[in-house]
């Protein structure tokens, strides 16, 4: 009898796993982040373009801002770059870049040649700041409210559609709530 129940139990377990894992309504970009609703990890790093300048998110307290994690080695980051330039031109809020596990000269060249959508670019040479933020890879984009809490995390290249659908409503809500 056990030789029939064990395979049947395994089949049922796999069926349940596939039913939840292959759900077509599931947002593949929505990975849970333990930071949502919690204070954004503080960082104090040198600026990519001017190493004598410090970039700190503590200076943004009271403002809603976006933190975009990128690197010159990241193919998807190049895909999203034009969208970030367009978003920056809208001047809705500060976009802070976190240059993740990169080389400063390559990052400087990238921003000079392709354009710089960031109000500041923190240089995270060893990746420790990205680890504090729970970064899986690049690109990843975080939305932080005026109280310094992470309110949204998006994994994948930013697009105009994502900006309109996922970010702008949350930005407006954060500003309305005074957060």
| HSE, side-chain direction, 13 A CA sphere, residue 140 | 18
SS (H, E, C) the chain: CHHHHHHHHHHHHHHHHHHHHCCCCCCCCCCCCCCECCECCCCEEEECCCCCCEEEHHHHCCCCEEEEEECCCCHHHHHHHHHHHHHHHHCCCCEEEEEECCCHHHHHHHHHHHCCCCCEEEEECCCHHHHHCCCCCCCEEEEECCCCEEEEEEECCCCHHHHHHHHHHHHHHHHHCCC
Q: What does the pLDDT look like over 117-160, one tens digit per residue?
A: 999 999 999 999 999 999 999 999 999 999 999 999 999 999 99
Q: What does the pLDDT look like over 37-47, one tens digit per residue?
A: 999 999 999 99
pTM for this structure? 0.83
pLDDT at 129: 97
Percent of the chain with pLDDT over 90: 77
pLDDT at 179: 58
For residue 177, name the pLDDT band (cuts at 50, 70, 90): confident
Q: Would you say 135 and 159 are in contact if contact means Cβ atoms under 8 Å apart?
A: no
Average pLDDT, the chain: 89
Q: What does the pLDDT look like over 20-60, one tens digit per residue?
A: 555 555 554 555 677 899 999 999 999 999 999 999 999 99
Domains annotated on the chain, with CATH: 30-176 (3.40.30.10)
Answer with the residue of higher pLDDT: 19 or 118.
118
Token pair recorded at residue 166:
């996922």
pLDDT at 155: 95
* Cα separations in angstroms, 24 against 21, 30, 99: 9, 13, 33
What mean pLDDT do residues 69-82 have?
97
């Amino acid at each position: 009898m056990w030789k029939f129940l064990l395979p049947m139990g395994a089949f049922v377990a796999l069926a349940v796993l596939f039913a939840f894992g292959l759900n077509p309504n599931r947002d593949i970009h929505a990975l849970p982040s333990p930071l949502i609703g919690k204070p954004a990890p503080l960082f104090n790093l040198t600026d990519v373009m001017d190493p004598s300048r410090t970039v700190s998110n503590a200076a943004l307290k009271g403002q809603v801002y976006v933190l975009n994690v990128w690197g010159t080695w990241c193919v998807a980051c190049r895909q999203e770059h034009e969208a970030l330039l367009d978003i920056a031109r809208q001047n809705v809020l500060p976009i802070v870049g976190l240059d993740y596990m990169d080389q400063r000269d390559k990052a400087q060249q990238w921003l000079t040649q392709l354009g710089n959508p960031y109000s500041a670019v923190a240089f995270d040479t060893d990746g420790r700041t990205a680890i504090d933020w729970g970064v899986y890879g690049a690109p990843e984009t975080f939305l932080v409210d005026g109280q310094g809490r992470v309110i949204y995390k998006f994994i994948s290249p930013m697009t105009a559609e994502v900006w309109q659908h996922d970010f702008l409503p949350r930005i407006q809500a954060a500003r309305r709530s005074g957060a």
